[in-house]
Amino acid sequence: MRPADFDYALPDGLIAQYPTEKRAESRLLVADLASTKLADRRFSDLPALLKAGDLMVFNDTRVIRARLFGRKDTGGRIEILIERILSNTTALAQIRASKAPKLNTKLHFAGGNTAKVLDRETEFYKLEFELSLEPYLEEHGEVPLPPYLNRDTEPSDVERYQTVYAKHDGAVAAPTAGLHFDENMLSETRRIGVQHSYVTLHVGAGTFQPLRKENIDSSRLHSERLIVDEQTCESVERTRRSGGRIVAVGTTSVRALESAYAGEELKPFDGDTDLFIMPGYRFNCVDAMITNFHLPQSSLLMLVAAFAGTECILNAYRHAVAERYRFFSYGDAMFIS
């Protein structure tokens, strides 16, 4: 396999720069794997596609204000993106600057905060801040919009680039399939007998990195922090025993469930995952998924292709382009079953 095997032509005008006015107003492309048929629906139609006894699994990570702007001692401007908070004052971060900062360099930020460059690990720097990070980011940080949104962060993004059920701080990118759910949709799915469970996978900046041949050869991807608790494991097992479907809301929920699967059952998991799901992978936990449209030649597109079949997914993407669906984080969704 090559990255080019997962390519498709996408006009720039189909990259959604803003969300729909209301969350559930998005379009929904339904892919029925048994019949190979596609249907154009609205996201508000989702309850009609679910059944009593199904279990939807959501990723309840919360996007932190992970982007900071500052200066080096020399006066040169820098932009950093926190990848992971390691302790009260230390973090891994990407740094954009005209010249890469050297070890022990001090970086200066608003509010009198400084950070010392302690180490470099591949594309990430280990930084030690003077002030406690979580409250500092909440006051001075900026919501880190994806790089393909060619605009500055706006006040509305603070709410809309966050799921309504976000709970645990730690992500630098939203689990975007969940952005379509509002409280009414959550209530309606419960009303018809669909159960809800949650995993926590803190999405990292690596989700936007281009797929490289060496990733495919090594079968390993960027690492992300993951928690699957015992309650979710019990819900999955109970749903399977009763004949319901496990419906993963987003590729991050898929990655979480499949990472936590051990032997012949789902087990509690608290740690990092570098699982790379690509065509040929055998799924253990997921029967259906809700997902947005992903970047060409991306690991997320490969995951969806692994679930539905490469040709099926590329055909669905060609259909979505022809029908002018909206793509990527603020775009429309697919339901694959």
Q: Report the topology of domain 3-63+156-336.
A: QueA-like (3.40.1780)
Express each pLDDT in 282-310 by its tens digit: 999 999 999 999 999 999 999 999 999 99
d(CA 308, CA 334): 12
Q: Are 143 and 65 in contact (CB under 8 A)?
A: yes
pLDDT at 331 over 70: yes
Q: Report the topology of domain 67-140.
A: Thrombin, subunit H (2.40.10)
Q: Give the pLDDT score at 123.
A: 84
Q: Are 143 and 156 in contact (CB under 8 A)?
A: no
% of the chain with per-residue pLDDT over 70: 97
% of the chain with per-residue pLDDT over 90: 89
Q: Are 76 and 98 in contact (CB under 8 A)?
A: yes
Domains 3-63+156-336 and 67-140 agree in fold: no
pTM of structure: 0.94
Q: Are 60 and 198 in contact (CB under 8 A)?
A: yes
| Domain limits, the chain | 3-63+156-336, 67-140
What is the three-class DSSP state of 249? strand
Q: Are 188 and 222 in contact (CB under 8 A)?
A: no
